[in-house]
Structure 1
Amino acid sequence: MPIHIQEVIPRDGFQMEKKFIPTEDKINIINKISRTGVSKIEVTSFVSPKAVPQLSDAEEVAKNIERNKDVTYVGLVANLRGAERAMNADLDEINLVMSASASHNKKNVNKTHEESLEGFSKIAAHIKGSGIKINGTVATAFGCPFEGAISEKAVMGFIRKYIDLGMDSITLADTTGMANPSQIKRFAAEVKDYAGEIPLTLHLHDTRGMGLANLIAGMEAGVTRFDSAIGGIGGCPFAPGASGNICTEDVVHMFGEMGISHTADLDQLISISKELPDIIGRSDYPGQVVKAGKVSDLHEF
């Protein structure tokens, strides 16, 4: 079964950038990503511009991108108003996020767990029958920068509530890169067993250098869907020490070397990564293959 690459640079990658990225550049990079063979693109976040100024152009971006019928276009939303905005922008899927950590949920969306779930219930009722799918993300599923270890029993409780609300898919997010491969393999297998046919995505960060190892552990547990960001940029603005997502081109390069089936075009992804300094105004992003080249790129002796 092929692995599905789900690109998150337009949302999770760009939201941490201090320099405002012109709307035209965001649209252009999404259009290019749409042609690389990824399965999903999280194009933006429909939240308050005060909370995330970088994504204040959400509607303009979502309404002006070129759509590829083979790509699912996703918008993150925080409340019913955000869901209505995403619907008006004609997106295919909305992503709802609640942190397993009560502290991080308060910091991230200023809500208790009960308030988040109540809001999700209203969104699910509003979306029903529209054809738009809903993904439920459990953030800080493997650890919280404020509370430390998170109970797997508590995370499973939230997953049960998501499924009861009718979520079409589930994401486990290692928001600040606190997970380790053993933990990922054990818990991802447990969640997959419980969720059955409901698709499971792992959203991994490489904060402590374990991102690709955690991805392999997830694959060993049967996970086939992974979020990643070109260049390895991104992170949560409301979590101390949060840093980049696993890097899309590094992931795809690794898959190629390992003979793992996927649909993404490595050369196109590297080409987009090389454009990032002009887009984000800096060249110190974590991606490795874009710097070192592919294993097959030989040098003159």
Structure 2
Amino acid sequence: MHKLSLTAVTFCLAAQLATAQIKLPSPSPGATVMQTIGTTDLTVMYSRPSLKGRQPFTDAFVPRGKVWRTGANSPTMLTTSTDLMVNGKTLPAGTYAVLSIPQEGSSTLIFNKNKTTTEATYKQEEDALRVNLTPSETSEKVETFTIDFSDVTDSTAKMNFVWANVKASANLSVDVNKNAAANVDKAVAEKPEDAAVLQAAASYNVSKGRNLEQSLTWIDKSITMKENFRNLFVKSQILAKMGKFAEAVPLAQKALSLGQSSNDPVFPFFKDGIEKSLTEYTAKLPAMPAMKGSKKTKKA
């Protein structure tokens, strides 16, 4: 009877372990890699298998010429917050399963719209994008499969897949100016009565020379709400971009005066820029016509 009781307890414990959500060590632990390119946020979630004495891209382990989930366990996922160019081809903003087909000289990188797809359920017609990668040999052997980003600028980066002595990279790029402009317009649409947002939006636009008339409306509204040296300086910059230097000069002078009397700890960082702009605006003012009779005629 005692033996039967122990058996029942064992079955109960086994059942609890099977149904409970218990975090246990995984032979291919999960990882999340995040990277921002300009204003675009990229997130990769994947599981990282290790070699453990095996050689990948062989018939026995991650075979060549067959679809691979580019990791282990759950499908590898990529999320991009904006449209992304991969090797010159557009991948729309969204979340995708990342699969690949390893080959000797040219592998295929796949972004699939079915977020639950695996090797067994993969359908090519669900692909959002396919690009070719050229694998190369690395000098150092990498034990654990790695996805990372390198060579990051404000509009480009490389997405790297590294394992054993093999590395393959995809060239990524984003339209940072288009994305930033969209963010500016969205911010104003969401907070049209926020003086700081209007000032920041107008400042960005003038730095890019875009939508100057709209920006002038925004900065006028910001000044009406709360006049300060920042929004006065932005308005002077907009007017100067429009060639209205006679209007820009007094605004820059007022911005300088307000800043000097504001005790704002940030003003010293603006002071040189305002003074330089004021000098440039003044130099571009049209010359004043000479007054008639201002010169005396010499008698013979």
Q: Whose strand proportion is higher, 1 or 2?
A: 2
Higher RCO (Cα < 8 Å, 6 or more apart): 1
TM-score, with structure 2 as normaliser: 0.21
Q: TM-score, normalised by structure 1?
A: 0.21
Larger relative helix fraction: 1
